[in-house]
């Protein structure tokens, strides 16, 4: 079986031991890191591990950390992933029988190594029971679909894709940040206004713009804005910009949009 595995520093030791065991048993293991016990942030390694399973590149995934909780949280953000935290043989068994978990998460600081290895063997050895659990998995899939469609959970995202042309460049030949600031403010306004159509928003402020990677002529950038929080008279809109050619973050910021009544006074955001 093709198995994806990933951990942070706190799960690094068990990751190596699990890889050894799986390889010896004839499985093909893709190791998504981390590659040392140096402290790292687990989403960097867990998201690609879970993604490999979601995309069908690997059939199953194993994620590890200190407790395994944060790792499971990350994995479960990826559409199509059902990740269960396992700390006993029973939780490993049920992860398959009831949840058809395609990823499991183990906390290296919570279980002895022999038990961790047995958890993996148990989970791999069991089969989904089906029956009454089928409709529950169907329910999970429907929740995912509604979240993706924006009808459940967070406020919907609004996107804008831009091709960077020569007229957008500064004297150094990279994107002039002022254009980006205008596009970000426009999109934040659009996202707030489409989320609360009865409101009359103006921008109160936009938090720091920290351009973490330059944008070149011919690059394609994607801006995404989403209402993150609703206050009484204002909303906070998250804006994220990614260079779609290089898949790197260009910046992320938050815009505060205030609703004004017909007299130009701050007023509760109408819903
Ligand atoms: O399990 C985890 C997340 O749920 C992490 O591995 C854990 O939080 C890492 O902690 P530290 O930075 O103190 O080593």
- pLDDT digits 0-9 by tens, 97-127: 999 999 999 999 999 999 999 999 999 999 9
67 lines ligand 1 (CB under 6 A): yes
Asked if residue 51 is part of any domain, the answer here is yes
CA–CA gap between residue 99 and residue 84 (Å, rounded): 8
Do 27 and 113 share a structural domain?
Answer: yes
Q: Give the CA count within 13 Å in the CB-facing half-sphere of 23.
A: 10
Atom of ligand 1 nearest to the CA of 8: 6
- Tell me which residues are annotated as active site: 71, 98
Same domain, yes or no: 118 and 162: no
Residue 121 and residue 7 share a domain: yes
User: 182, exposed or middle or buried, with CB in 10 Å at 0-12, 13-18, 19+?
Assistant: exposed
99 and 200, same domain (yes or no): no
- CB 105, CB 65: distance < 8 Å: yes
**What are φ and ψ of residue 37, in 5° steps?**
-90, 10
How far apart, in whole angstroms, are the C-alpha atoms of residue 102 and residue 51?
A: 11
Q: Is residue 105 part of a domain?
A: yes
The verdict on residue 271 lying in a domain is: no
pLDDT in the model for residue 38: 98
Query: Number of structural domains, the chain?
Result: 2
- The model's pTM is 0.76
Q: Are residues 112 and 165 in the same domain?
A: no
Question: 125-129, 164-168, 210-214: which has the minimum mean pLDDT?
Answer: 210-214
Q: Are strands 2-7 and 60-65 parallel, antiparallel or unpaired?
A: parallel
- Kindly state whether residue 202 falls inside one of the protein's structural domains: yes
Q: Is 23 in the same domain as 119?
A: yes
135 pLDDT band, cuts 50/70/90, is very high
Q: Do 95 and 23 have their domain in common?
A: yes
One domain for residues 113 and 180 = no
pLDDT at 147: 85
Judge whether 20 and 117 are in contact, CB under 8 Å.
no
Distance CA 242, CA 249 (A): 4
Taking the centre of ligand 1 as the mean of its atom positions, its distance from the CA of residue 66, in whole angstroms, is 5
For residue 10 and ligand 1, the question of a CB distance below 6 A is answered with yes
> What integer pLDDT is reported at residue 107 of this predicted model?
98
What integer pLDDT is reported at residue 148 of this predicted model? 81
* Mean pLDDT score of the chain: 96
Q: Are residues 163 and 113 in the same domain?
A: no
Predicted pLDDT of residue 150: 72
ipTM of model: 0.98
Those residues whose C-beta lies under 8 Å from the C-beta of residue 218, and which sit 6 or more positions away, are 163, 164
The answer, yes or no, to whether any atom of ligand 1 lies below 6 A from the CB of 6, is: no
Please report whether residue 264 resides in a domain.
no
Q: Let me know whether 110 and 183 are in one domain.
A: no
Ligand 1 midpoint to CA 238 (Å): 26
The residues facing 258 across adjacent strands are 202, 234
**Domain span at 236:** 158-259
């Amino acid at each position: 079986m093709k198995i994806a595995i990933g951990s942070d520093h706190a799960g690094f030791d068990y990751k190596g031991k699990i890889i050894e065991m799986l390889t010896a048993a004839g499985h093909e293991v893709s190791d998504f890191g981390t590659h040392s016990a140096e402290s790292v942030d687990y989403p960097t390694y867990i998201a690609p591990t879970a993604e490999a399973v979601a995309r069908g590149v690997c059939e199953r995934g194993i994620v590890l950390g200190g407790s395994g909780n944060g790792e499971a949280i990350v994995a479960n953000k990826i559409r199509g992933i059902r990740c269960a935290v396992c700390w006993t043989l029973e939780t490993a068994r049920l992860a398959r029988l009831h949840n058809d978990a395609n990823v499991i998460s183990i906390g290296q600081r919570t279980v002895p190594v022999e038990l961790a290895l047995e958890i993996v063997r148990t989970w791999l050895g069991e089969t989904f029971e089906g029956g009454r659990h089928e409709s529950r998995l169907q329910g999970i899939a429907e929740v995912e679909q509604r979240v993706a469609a924006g009808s459940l959970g967070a406020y919907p995202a609004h996107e804008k894709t831009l091709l960077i042309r020569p007229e957008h460049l500064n004297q150094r030949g990279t994107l002039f940040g002022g254009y980006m600031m205008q596009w970000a403010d426009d999109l934040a306004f659009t996202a707030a206004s489409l989320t609360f159509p009865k409101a009359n928003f103006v921008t109160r402020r936009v938090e720091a713009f920290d351009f973490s990677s330059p944008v070149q002529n011919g690059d394609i950038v994607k801006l995404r804005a989403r209402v993150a929080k609703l206050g009484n008279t204002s909303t906070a809109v998250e804006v994220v910009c990614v260079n779609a050619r290089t898949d790197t973050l260009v910046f992320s910021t938050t815009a505060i949009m205030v609703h004004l009544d017909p007299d130009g006074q701050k007023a509760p955001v109408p819903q």
